Amino acid sequence: MLLFIVFCPIVAAILIMAGAPARKTALLASGSTFVMTLLAFALFERWQGGFHHVSSFTISADWRLNFAVGLDGLSLIMVLLAVIVTLAAVWFTGEIDKYENAFYACLLLISGGAIGAFASLDLFFFYAFHELALIPTFLLIGIWGSGNRSAAAWKITIYLALGSFVLLIGLILLYQSVPVASRSFDIRALQAAAVAGQIGPEAQRHIYLLLLIGFGVLVSLFPFHTWAPEAYASAPAPAAMLHAGVLKKFGLYGLLRLAIPLLPDGARHWTGLLMVLLLGNIIYIGLATIGQKRLDWMLGYSSVMHMGYIFLGIASANILGVTGAATLIFAHGLSIALLFGLAGEIRKRTGTLVFDELGGLAKVMPFAGLAFGLGAFAAVGLPGFANFAAEVMVFFGAFQNGWEMERFHIFQIATVLGLWGVVISAVYMLRAYRKVFMGTLPERFRGWNNLVDLRLSLHVPVTLLVGALLWFGFFPQSFVRIVAPAFRTYFSANAQP
């Protein structure tokens, strides 16, 4: 089952490049992986502890290189996020003017790379699958993008290549920090070595900093964030959906899977630095988001801003906070994918995403207005959506981290400051909704035949994304029961979700 989920998008991309019908093949592949992942999700609670659906084989015994994939609660929800957004992105794509087969193949390669990275139990393939997904990202922006797409494509490539290089150094040092007899690329073996105390505190501090910087660049942690808004504004909508919604979450997943559990002393040592940087994401980037004049740039900056909440949950180092971070990864991926998809449809119909050139679109695009409103409500953390449940867990988990301290602890200070981000996000999201959908329809759009609501087929991906946000918003425990056990072996249980 898991091998099918990992390789189906990659095989479909190869078939499309060989001449298979692009859209039909992409929809069949993304739909099949979605169904198989839903089946795995439905069955997961019957399985007890550890990784499941593990498949592995040796590639090189001399190099200790093994291909291994498996699922636990954390990797399962990441794979579920990837397949939902992939299906929605492919459905939103429609007809492509040039190189249609290559476009769909690039989308599937991003999806396959992300799924492979989330499911990998081997450090080599964990890294390699992510690098596979970066190449089509560059092509999608550079060939099919808009605006200054060439500069945006090179900027994202340079930033992410440098981040990947720093990450590679950190992973190599992590492998070498374990005694020779215990060295392995297998993440499970590394976890056992960390539990046995085989990675010294000094080594942990150096390795954790490298992983934090490497993963941080990939996640757009402040101040390594400037590539993200421009790249998302220039990218085709399906590419922005996949990268902002799924691929960018690779860095957050890496911190939860590797940096925090394997290097706890290093994480504690650099807590102060991480707190300052994540507040830069929440406060500084949040204020910058308010100042944006275009919908695509506003969504790009908002995606960067919300990464600060997830970092806050990761830094909390207790089950409640990290479970909230994992839930917010999933919820944010769905909501930002929905908003980017709808922004792309607005651009197709109006030719612009400048706030001052839009207005009143809800009169002629009522379903798009409803869908965008639901996506905006989810993004600002309105109760009933998965984002709200996740943010509540993050804030309570982070605040409780310093509960035993007599003075006001750094976690409590960061939580109080971070709460202002909720106000900031409400300001820019509701302002954007008012500018685009409320008010009077501009004169140049009146009587324009191109200005029509979303076609009936697009109701499917919108319903899929909104439905998932509402399901896990009203029933967050169905999510928490799966995710929390993955953290209990290495996080304190002082805050049970």
Give pLDDT, residue 50: 59
Give the lowest-confidence range in 218-222, 357-361, 377-381, 456-460. Answer: 357-361
In DSSP terms, 60 is beta-bridged to 65
pTM: predicted TM-score of the whole model, two decimal places: 0.89
Range of weakest confidence among 75-89, 138-152, 227-241, 405-419: 405-419
The two three-digit tokens of residue 167, written as one number: 């990450």
Torsion on CA atoms 104, 110, 112, 118, rounded to nearest 10: -160
Stronger pLDDT, 195 or 217, i.e. the higher one? 217
Lowest mean pLDDT among 3-17, 73-87, 316-330, 399-413: 399-413
- Does pLDDT of 70 surpass 60? yes
DSSP calls for 54-95: EEEEEEETTTTEEEEEEE-HHHHHHHHHHHHHHHHHHHHH--
Is residue 285 within 8 A of residue 225, CB to CB? The reply is: yes
> Is residue 268 classed as helix, strand or coil in its secondary structure?
helix
- Distance, CA of 262 to CA of 197 (rounded, Å): 10
Q: Could you read off the pLDDT of 28-64 as tens digits, one per residue?
A: 999 999 998 888 888 776 655 556 566 656 665 566 6
pLDDT digits (tens, 9 = 90+) for 318-358: 888 889 999 999 999 999 999 999 999 888 888 888 888 88
Say if residues 80 and 245 touch (Cβ distance below 8 Å): no
Res 52: pLDDT: 59
∠ CA 80-86-90, nearest 5°, is 155
User: pLDDT digits over 362-371, tens only?
Assistant: 888 899 899 9
Give the pLDDT confidence score for residue 54 in this predicted structure: 61
Are the C-beta atoms of 281 and 225 separated by less than 8 Å?
A: yes
Q: Residue ranges of the domains in the chain?
A: 272-497
Q: How far is CA 102 from CA 55, 109, 436, in A?
A: 30, 10, 32
Phi, psi at 206, each rounded to 5° = -70, -45
